[in-house]
Structure 1
């Protein structure tokens, strides 16, 4: 296997030559074999071990094993202990997800702080097959079947072409020692259930299962690359990118073949799961929207507008005194001897009509004001509709208020009641800097 591994590195990972490598080492069979293989190739390397405090003394014994392994191989080692269950509870995620976030977050810190170039993990061909079946059971697009990537930015997986059987044979032939994780024998998790119960029987049905899977994975990856090339060709014709949103032109995307499949490929990385609802937006009325945990997709006339969900507290208010404010937006307040032309980012108001401190907040349903040049009041919702301001833009709009009354819909229209008149004794210039 060492010969095959060496050839794999030379062919697929030649860029690793001369680089500092960090190996994620649990102490289990796979990571121990990876450690020895890399050591045989004389790379500058170190081990990184996570103690997730989930198996008591067993977890501590794993840590001591990895530290001993590094000492025997005369290479550096990093070890860190995490309160995984506490982290999971605080962030309201599963223990598995918590361990993953803690693990990779810490690995990336080591890469940065100690100038290592790449992180190597010991994922292998059987892991890839398990992932294929997990994605199959959960529902996925083509990308979910293309397998674990061999390279993902700083993360390298050089054992993906090797089976667990090959790895075990190498370990036994070279009299390597490793740790067995007792939790791997529990079938509480889907991956373990597949590994222990489903895939062994599946492999019995056909001897070259793993080899055929490799071929299938290669073909699916080629198909995925073809799709990505097609997306690159049509992207600019259907998508307009703004600093804080993406706009998909509905008539143009509907003119292209396989519209729903194209829509899925454009949006799959934003966490949407209700794909029927997403595709129904193409024919929905303006204002209809679909949410993922992180993003919103809004139908606005002939566009689908994708924006990130704003986690800021929209109810928060900010007091503004005579000198102005610099956060969350910048408003500069200064005396003026004359009235200039009102623009999008500045207004002139009668000082005596203001009552300090002013307030700054986001708009709320039911808000009304008297648009400059009008005699009667108007609901902000009606004003936004008349101005053709889409929903995702409304939520970014700030209001400047004096004693509960709107002085300025910032960046759009001031209130007529605060305008400068011939009787005004003092003029204030208020400038907004986006």
Structure 2
């Protein structure tokens, strides 16, 4: 069983796409990541380890990071270490601990990739992790796409051990006498994943082929989704909208898939439920001008022979605080926009070409990302201020699009309209040190 790890890994890296590439391995110090790092090192694959200390578990978290340093020193693996303050980030930006940790961790990974320190990030997910993920999705009522599971290769992220079981990894670690640390929270079944892990462990005692069966399910689901993708019309996002011909909105599987495709293009990748499909199909039969609202600010208009999907303001309660901690890129998927830390060089190169840049230090502490509401106004560059409605009229923004434009606002004062204009109040000047780039995704 222990040899299965090295055999699987060697087979995975036979792919010519990885030839000569440097792999960054996410190293927490746990059993799985230690096994992956050691296997990569043993296979003479160009390697760098990345350890992220999240600032969540106090002294235990710091001890785990020290272990990662000692492990890499012992096995001569280059190491990059990062420390984060996840609790503060979550408090300031309204995320759960798990959400915040993942956002900041992947922000670090993306930065390492973008800086060219490695070509891929290897994650230590294995077959049992896949089974846990699938069962969690089933409990939440997933559709066929949710059954596709995690992929071995997903862009710049790879999972070389996805076909190996937890038993394979345990045997590999034992055979090679590898040290590792245990995260004490993994035993807390108050967490959904930990509870499912414990239950699946008992199920595997009676059905030891569980992971193989789940893997086969994922493969079948991927084949179904590939077939659906190949046999449904392609869609495109233009000016924040996705148009779908009403002829497809007939209650069929094809119609449902097109609704999901449109939602994904608008940045809505979850919470499209079965109850939403009949609403869309009924709208296709309604008169022109009718509209419905779905979820995450997504609405659908009937226009001639098309349904037009777009994002708009569901309620002002969905406002999100402007991030105040250090970051490189922050994606706001609910709004379909991003805020990137930039510099004057990029600003000088791109100003006047459609990109929006602001002075981050001029943004009020109470600033939020939201949609428009009554009483909003913006300070013009030519002097004076205008209501946001008059401003949109001057900019010839269609009425149906105005509620979908994302604003950076402090109270009723609009500091920026993503994709359109910024207020004079946050303009960059010769004293600017904190340049932020605002972009629509």
Deviations 1:163-204 (A, max 9, x none): 0100000000111110011000001211000001x2023223
Contact 2:251 2:281 in 1 (8 A): no
Task: Look up the match of 1:65.
Answer: 67
Larger radius of gyration: 1
Q: Output the CA distance in 2 between the equivalents of 1:141 and 1:212.
A: 18
Q: CA shift at 1:215, angstroms?
A: 1.9
- Using a 3 Å threshold, how does the CA distance of structure 1 residues 171 and 242 change in structure 2: closer, same or farther? same
Identify the match of residue 180 of structure 1 among 168, 179, 182: 182
Q: CA shift at 1:127, angstroms?
A: 0.3
Contact 1:21 1:46 in 2 (8 A): yes
* Relative contact order higher in (CA < 8 Å, ≥ 6 apart): 2
- Using a 3 Å threshold, how does the CA distance of structure 1 residues 71 and 7 change in structure 2: closer, same or farther? closer
1:261 aligns with 2:256: yes
Query: Tell me, what secondary structure is at the counterpart of 2:124?
Result: coil
Q: CA shift at 1:50, angstroms?
A: 1.2
Contact 2:48 2:77 in 1 (8 A): yes
- Using a 3 Å threshold, how does the CA distance of structure 1 residues 218 and 318 change in structure 2: closer, same or farther? closer
- Using a 3 Å threshold, how does the CA distance of structure 1 residues 142 and 219 change in structure 2: closer, same or farther? same
- Using a 3 Å threshold, how does the CA distance of structure 1 residues 358 and 178 change in structure 2: closer, same or farther? closer
Task: Look up the match of 1:211.
Answer: 212
Task: Look up the match of 1:282.
Answer: 281
Task: Look up the match of 1:228.
Answer: 229
Task: Look up the match of 2:388.
Answer: 361
Q: Output the CA distance in 2 between the equivalents of 1:259 and 1:217.
A: 21
Q: CA shift at 1:292, angstroms?
A: 2.5
Q: CA shift at 1:242, angstroms?
A: 2.4
Contact 1:281 1:299 in 2 (8 A): no
1:9 aligns with 2:19: no
Q: CA shift at 1:316, angstroms?
A: 3.6
Deviations 1:81-113 (A, max 9, x none): 211111111121110011100110011111222
**Of 105-114 and 306-315, the range deviating more from structure 2:** 306-315
Q: Output the CA distance in 2 between the equivalents of 1:209 and 1:303.
A: 45
Task: Look up the match of 1:98.
Answer: 100
Q: Output the CA distance in 2 between the equivalents of 1:3 and 1:319.
A: 62
Contact 2:371 2:403 in 1 (8 A): no
Q: CA shift at 1:76, angstroms?
A: 1.6
- Using a 3 Å threshold, how does the CA distance of structure 1 residues 35 and 292 change in structure 2: closer, same or farther? same
Q: CA shift at 1:363, angstroms?
A: 5.2
1:48 aligns with 2:75: no
Q: CA shift at 1:129, angstroms?
A: 0.3
Q: Output the CA distance in 1 between the equivalents of 2:311 and 2:132.
A: 32
Q: Output the CA distance in 2 between the equivalents of 1:302 and 1:248.
A: 9
- Using a 3 Å threshold, how does the CA distance of structure 1 residues 143 and 61 change in structure 2: closer, same or farther? same
Q: CA shift at 1:393, angstroms?
A: 5.8
Q: CA shift at 1:313, angstroms?
A: 4.3
1:247 aligns with 2:243: yes
Structure 2: where are the runs of 5+ without partners?
314-369, 406-441
1:298 aligns with 2:297: no
Q: CA shift at 1:72, angstroms?
A: 1.2
Q: How do 1:72-151 residues align onto structure 2 when only pairs under 5 Å count?
A: 72-151=74-153
Equivalenced residues, count: 334
- Using a 3 Å threshold, how does the CA distance of structure 1 residues 213 and 318 change in structure 2: closer, same or farther? closer
Identify the match of residue 154 of structure 2 among 152, 169, 186: 152
Q: Output the CA distance in 2 between the equivalents of 1:215 and 1:223.
A: 12
Query: Tell me, what secondary structure is at the counterpart of 2:275?
Result: helix
Query: Tell me, what secondary structure is at the counterpart of 1:305?
Result: strand
- Using a 3 Å threshold, how does the CA distance of structure 1 residues 393 and 259 change in structure 2: closer, same or farther? farther
Contact 2:52 2:81 in 1 (8 A): yes
Contact 1:287 1:391 in 2 (8 A): no
Q: Output the CA distance in 2 between the equivalents of 1:277 and 1:223.
A: 22
Deviations 1:114-158 (A, max 9, x none): 431110110000000000000001111111011101111110110
- Using a 3 Å threshold, how does the CA distance of structure 1 residues 357 and 147 change in structure 2: closer, same or farther? closer
Q: CA shift at 1:18, angstroms?
A: 0.8
Task: Look up the match of 1:201.
Answer: 202
Deviations 1:299-332 (A, max 9, x none): 4454322223363545442455xxx74xxxxxxx
Deviations 1:56-98 (A, max 9, x none): 1111110000011111122221111211111111121110011
Q: Output the CA distance in 2 between the equivalents of 1:6 and 1:302.
A: 52
